Amino acid sequence: MASAPATQTELSFRPVVFLSAGRAMALVMTFATPLVLARVFDQAGFGTYKQLFLISGTLAVIAQLGMAESLLYFLPSAPRRGGRYVLNALLVLGGSGLACLGLFVLSGPLLSRWLGNASFLGLSRLLGVYVLLTLPSAVLEIVMTARKRFTDAGVAYGLSDLVRATAVVTAAVVTGRLEWLLAGAAAFAAVRLGATLLYLRREFGAEMRPDRALLREQLAYALPFQLGGALWILVLNLHYYLVASFVNAATFAIYAVGCTQIPVVELLFTPAKNVMMVRMREAIMASRPHAAVAIWRDTARKLAMVFFPLAGLLIVIAQELIPFLFTARYLASVPVFIIWCTIVLIVPLQADGVLGVYADTRFLAVLYGIQLLLNAGLVVLLMRPFGLIGAVVATGLAMGVGKSVVLLRAKRLMGATFAELLPWRSLAEVLGASATSLLVALEVKGRLAAPPLPLMLMTAGIFATTYLGILAVRGLFDTETMLATTKRIRLLLGWSAKAP
């Protein structure tokens, strides 16, 4: 008997919009943080700030041991045991945080020597406290998402980002010292942890108790998944570490600005992946594999309508955007940023989430290990002759190879044909519309004579008008997705006009 097709509720983009709206509440403050700090600190100080949060961010993801993300698998599958799953995760994360604090205390001198940055030594303990307080609260929005409290999760994301950015920026602006910046971050993490514990106690009550049998089940799922996740975060960040070890803090600041995290990517990527995983898991549990494939394809199609044109737009305005955001001191970051933006094209293909849904985490771990070695070799090989450009090109090549392999594995797990794997025609049409818009915008931009800010805004307007016009002519509009997209474009343009 054929399985039931995906329902409109399952294909709805609204939960993603709810989660994204929460992120958007504080997007301006969050993205503005490095913009302010680039003006507060000199290049060496800003490079040190980037190194600090690179290391803490990498370690925080690895040290989760997959326990937080595993709740997206276990809570929809066994909701009555949710409290025990959650408390198990909290206990593991707390212990892992203590281990991280000890690691920072013991390895501070080694990290300082490896980075060639003497100022890192005096900051490592504060960084360890921040990671300790951050880890357990990682379950908050994941629990909300797994229990379909999408609005609550959106609000939690938004408030957290807003308070974090406020604490960090205020401490930096008032004192001009990295020590107080870290103290502000740690104070925020303590407040968030307290709020997380209160919410979970109210949500699960007496059901929150440890369960060894369930813990073994969680670890059996989470550790292989986390091994893949840990290797993946290393794949993502390896180029930063290698560049940091080869150059001084000021040059690292130039590279880090070129590889700036694009806000819309974070705004949509994580919520879309989480919602997709929950829906696909529910469809599989209901013996509806065709619905799971439809959910995957629909997510890829809708995200492509945002990320393909986003890559083109950022490439077109890069020459004006980077100096506007980070001052003219970082003009050398523009070529790195242009190449970095091309990696956005593979973001809609969240095939690693599909492997997580099917619990095929061991394959991910093996693949990411191979990809890590490939990435390391390419970065070293290409950075020597091409410098900073070589490092980012190497990372893009390694990510593209890895994504291709994961897609083929996802095809096998879903039982899909090559034609069914992705909405190929839709992706090709959106990519063509984005490329055409890029060429039109570049042509018109070359004929305009205007100061940098008006030129950037006019070029962005030309690109957006061309892209939306092509979609309208080709009949590619998805009303729900495009409404969300245009709201985000207005948000970004409004913010750009007000950024310091």
* Residue 2 resides in a domain: no
Burial 108-117 (b: 16+ CB within 10 A, else e): beebbeebeb
Would you tell me the crossing angle of helices 263-285 and 14-25 to the nearest 10 degrees? 150
108/456: higher pLDDT: 456
Work out the mean pLDDT of the chain and round it to a whole number: 84
The pLDDT value recorded for residue 371 is 86
Any domain includes 291: yes
Residue 487 is predicted with a pLDDT of 54
Task: Supply the pLDDT for residue 1.
Answer: 41
- Domains: count for the chain: 1
- Please give the Cα distance from 14 to 154 (Å, whole number): 12
DSSP 162-190: HHHHHHHHHHHHHH--HHHHHHHHHHHHH
Q: Which tens digit of pLDDT belongs to each residue from 128-164?
A: 999 999 999 998 888 888 877 777 777 787 788 888 8
Query: What tens digit of pLDDT does each residue of 375-434 get?
Result: 999 999 999 899 999 999 999 999 999 999 999 999 999 988 889 889 999 999 999 999
How many CB atoms are located within 10 Å of the residue 118 CB? 10
Does residue 3 lie within any of the structural domains?
Answer: no
pLDDT of residue 233: 84
Domain span at residue 368? Answer: 8-498
Enumerate residues 6+ apart whose C-beta is below 8 A from 454.
Answer: none
295 within some domain: yes
User: 272-294: b or e for each residue (b if 16 or more CB lie within 10 Å)?
Assistant: bbbbbbbbbbbbbeeebbbbbbb
For 227-241, the pLDDT digits (tens) are 767 777 888 888 999
DSSP 447: T
Q: How confident is the model at residue 495 (pLDDT cuts 50, 70, 90)?
A: very low
Is position 483 within any domain?
Answer: yes
| DSSP 8-state class, residue 205 | G
Does residue 7 register a pLDDT over 60? no
Residue 357 maps to a domain: yes
Instruction: Report pLDDT digits (tens) over 318-354.
Output: 999 999 999 999 999 999 999 999 999 998 898 888 8
**Alpha carbon separation from 90 to 71, 74, 86, 193 (Å, rounded):** 11, 15, 6, 11
More confident site: 315 or 118 = 315
On whether residue 442 sits in a domain, the answer given is yes
Q: Residue 103 class from Cβ within 10 Å (0-12 exposed, 13-18 middle, 19+ buried)?
A: middle
Q: What pTM did the predictor assign?
A: 0.78
483: region left, alpha or beta (phi > 0 left; psi from -120 to 50 alpha) = alpha
